[in-house]
Chain A
Amino acid sequence: MIAISMIKDAEVSEKQPDCCTAMRGRKNLDVQTNVMVGDPDGCE
């Protein structure tokens, strides 16, 4: 088993929120919401 994510002491970069795309303020939630930036191909 090779751990890819949820690595202890991982150096995770701080993501800047994007206001135009409704992401503002949500970066610190423990979940992500579907935003235009985060989901550029939309809802398929």
Chain B
Amino acid sequence: MLVSPNTVTFSVALPEGTLDPSYLDESGKVSVLANAVSGSMDIVTPAEITALERLRTGDPTDADSTVMAGLLERGYICADADEDDSRYRSIVDGYFEAIQQAPFQFMFIPSFVCNLACPYCFEGELTTKSPRMDEEMIDAAFDAIPMIQELHDNSGPPYITLFGGEPLLDTAYQRGAVERILRSSYDRGYPVTAITNGVALDKYVPMLLRYGCEEVQVSLDGTPEIHDSRRVFRNGKPTFELIERGIDVAADAGLRVLVRVLIDDESVEAMPRFAEFAQSKGWIDHPKIRMFHGFTKAITFLYVTPDHPEEQRRRMVRGDVKPGLQESFYRMLRANPLVDRMLEPDPARIRSAVMEGDRVRPNLQGCSAGTSVVAFDPNGKVYGCPETVGRPQHACGTFFPEFSYAGGYRDPWRHRHVDTVPMCRDCNVKLFCGGGGCPIKAWAASGGDFNTCYCPKVSAIKTRVETELAYLLPMALRRRQDKAARSEGGEGTWEQMTRVGSFPWMS
């Protein structure tokens, strides 16, 4: 017997009384085993952890056969290393086969211009003055789509995303360019989505519907007070009410609306008030609206290239999220179930596994930008990552006036995954992080090698999972207890339901 290389032990602090004390270790935490290849996750006793760790270090174990059988059945230990590896390999191969058939996203940036002046915008100075995509350039971008898919060995359906700058500016030029992109997509049968600031969304809804646009994404910064203190027009005028109207008009017209709620130190404590607002609007349960959160990020890495001095690269390529923000976010969530229902946050991507008993899903490749996303900018350049657009040092080709594609730059990026980064290969947490962190950061920080790791720290990946487990497990266990109690008490049975008052017409 040996421990599966992808078995991870997480150590989770749970509120007192959540579990029987026999599950607590000396520090008062509980151990959670997970294996993203077998899909299992279990809360285990200190004795079970000891048996596993002794097996890992090669020490003889005196654990009883029931313990070992349980660990084996759930895939934490295995009898045959080759068989275990073959299961892992089939997941990796299956992923890359599936990726080749998966839809490929092409982002069109008619111009970088934006009418807002959000202080944290990653496009920054690009949004004040920009070239425009003319008709010839738009047609060239559509012509480039099959060529790029062929270079990526991708036969999936392409789909188009309008991006900017602000794609839905209410100007004559922009309406013309957007309509040409929409019409060209419609004629080719490509679905369209748009990522917009939303201030003129209501005016664009008829056009978007006419060409079959399926989905738009807008952002709000929380309550109107906080939102209008920063997500403002260039002249400082507020935008909340315009975006609110855009969301309502779009959703009522049948467009699916994703509302990204930006959270940072300034807005996190106001989320409960924003959730009440969203509920009063009917957004939280609206069938066409989905809300999710994003943290404002540090973006200095965009300005770094491999030829910068090492010290500068190290300083500028760094983490995105301010220390402490995750903690304050979860603290706020614990006290405010409505915010949880609104956002259903899942940074570690284990929510479905913990709350619904789904399998733990392995994350084999850290970023979809590496495989099946490309952005066309109004300079005629092609970018592999939408966050890098407009920075020529990150371009991977051109689509106008001529098509060119830097395979030497793009291929190692495209093929980068948990096994191509040496540091990740033997890391047992790799299937919870995707292997190597952000590829652009790894490339810049290492001096030009995609197959390096810009992993913040293995401990940071573990902490992310442990933080989410500490948040979700009490809810999941309580839900199970309630379900068991209902089942024991006959709640939910026909006898129970047919009591007077259970159905409105019987009361």
- What is A's interface to B at a CB cutoff of 8 Å? 1-7, 10-13, 15-16, 18-26, 29-44
7 cross-chain pairs, A with B, having the tightest CB-CB distances, nearest first:
A10-B357, A43-B438, A7-B357, A5-B353, A5-B41, A20-B217, A25-B103
Q: Which residues of A contact B434 (CB under 8 A)?
A: 34
Q: How far is the CA of A16 from the CA of B364 in the complex (A)?
A: 21
Q: How far is the CA of A15 from the CA of B355 in the complex (A)?
A: 14
Q: Which residues of B contact A44 (CB under 8 A)?
A: 319-321, 437-438, 456, 460, 464
Q: B111-122 vs A: 1/0 string, CB under 8 Å?
A: 000000000000
16 residue pairs of the A-B complex, CB under 8 angstroms, read A1-B43, A1-B74, A2-B19, A2-B23, A4-B354, A4-B357, A6-B41, A13-B356, A19-B159, A22-B373, A29-B98, A32-B363, A35-B368, A41-B320, A42-B320, A42-B438
Minimum C-beta distance from B354 to chain A (A): 6
Q: How far is the CA of A12 from the CA of B346 in the complex (A)?
A: 15
Is there an interface contact between B161 and A20, defined as CB atoms closer than 8 Å?
Answer: yes
Minimum C-beta distance from B352 to chain A (A): 6
Q: Which residues of A contact B319 (CB under 8 A)?
A: 44
- Tell whether A20 pairs with B357 under 8 Å between CB atoms, given A31-B363, A43-B454, A44-B320: no
Is there an interface contact between A12 and B94, defined as CB atoms closer than 8 Å?
Answer: no
Q: Which residues of A contact B454 (CB under 8 A)?
A: 43
B347 on interface, CB distance cutoff 8 Å:
yes
Secondary structure of the A side of the interface? loop
Q: Which residues of B contact A34 (CB under 8 A)?
A: 363, 365-368, 434
B95 on interface, CB distance cutoff 8 Å:
yes
Q: Which residues of B contact A20 (CB under 8 A)?
A: 161, 193-195, 215-217, 258
Q: B261-293 vs A: 1/0 string, CB under 8 Å?
A: 000000000000000000000000000001011
B29 on interface, CB distance cutoff 8 Å:
no
Nearest residue, chain B, Cβ from A18: B258
- Tell whether A31 pairs with B95 under 8 Å between CB atoms, given A4-B42, A4-B473, A6-B38: yes
- What is B's interface to A at a CB cutoff of 8 Å? 19, 23, 32, 34, 38-45, 48, 70, 74, 91, 94-95, 98-99, 102-103, 105, 156-157, 159, 161, 191, 193-195, 214-217, 256, 258, 290, 292-295, 297, 319-321, 326, 345-347, 349-350, 352-354, 356-369, 371-373, 434, 437-438, 441, 454, 456, 460, 464, 473, 476
Q: Which residues of B contact A3 (CB under 8 A)?
A: 40-42, 74, 357
Q: Which residues of B contact A6 (CB under 8 A)?
A: 38-41, 74, 353, 357-360
Is there an interface contact between B215 and A18, defined as CB atoms closer than 8 Å?
Answer: yes
Minimum C-beta distance from A27 to chain B (A): 10
Is there an interface contact between B195 and A26, defined as CB atoms closer than 8 Å?
Answer: no
Is there an interface contact between A40 and B356, defined as CB atoms closer than 8 Å?
Answer: no
Is there an interface contact between A22 and B40, defined as CB atoms closer than 8 Å?
Answer: no
- Tell whether A21 pairs with B258 under 8 Å between CB atoms, given A39-B347, A44-B319: yes
- Tell whether A25 pairs with B102 under 8 Å between CB atoms, given A3-B74, A6-B359, A20-B193: yes
- Tell whether A43 pairs with B320 under 8 Å between CB atoms, given A5-B359, A31-B95, A34-B366: yes
Q: Which residues of A contact B347 (CB under 8 A)?
A: 39-41
Q: Which residues of A contact B349 (CB under 8 A)?
A: 32, 38-39
- Tell whether A24 pairs with B326 under 8 Å between CB atoms, given A4-B473, A38-B346, A39-B349: no
Q: How far is the CA of A42 from the CA of B42 in the complex (A)?
A: 27
Is there an interface contact between B356 and A10, defined as CB atoms closer than 8 Å?
Answer: yes
Q: Name A19's contact: one of B70, B191, B363, B456 (CB within 8 Å).
A: B191
- Tell whether A1 pairs with B42 under 8 Å between CB atoms, given A22-B105, A37-B292: yes
- Tell whether A41 pairs with B321 under 8 Å between CB atoms, given A1-B70, A32-B349, A34-B434: yes
A18-B290, A19-B215 provided; 10 other pairs, C-beta below 8 A? A5-B358, A6-B360, A13-B352, A18-B217, A26-B103, A29-B102, A31-B364, A32-B361, A43-B320, A43-B438
Is there an interface contact between B352 and A15, defined as CB atoms closer than 8 Å?
Answer: yes
Minimum C-beta distance from B95 to chain A (A): 5
Minimum C-beta distance from B270 to chain A (A): 18
Q: Which residues of A contact B373 (CB under 8 A)?
A: 22
Nearest residue, chain A, Cβ from B160: A19
Nearest residue, chain B, Cβ from A23: B368
Q: How far is the CA of A16 from the CA of B292 in the complex (A)?
A: 13
Q: How far is the CA of A14 from the CA of B447 in the complex (A)?
A: 43
Is there an interface contact between A43 and B103, defined as CB atoms closer than 8 Å?
Answer: no
Q: How far is the CA of A4 from the CA of B98 in the complex (A)?
A: 28
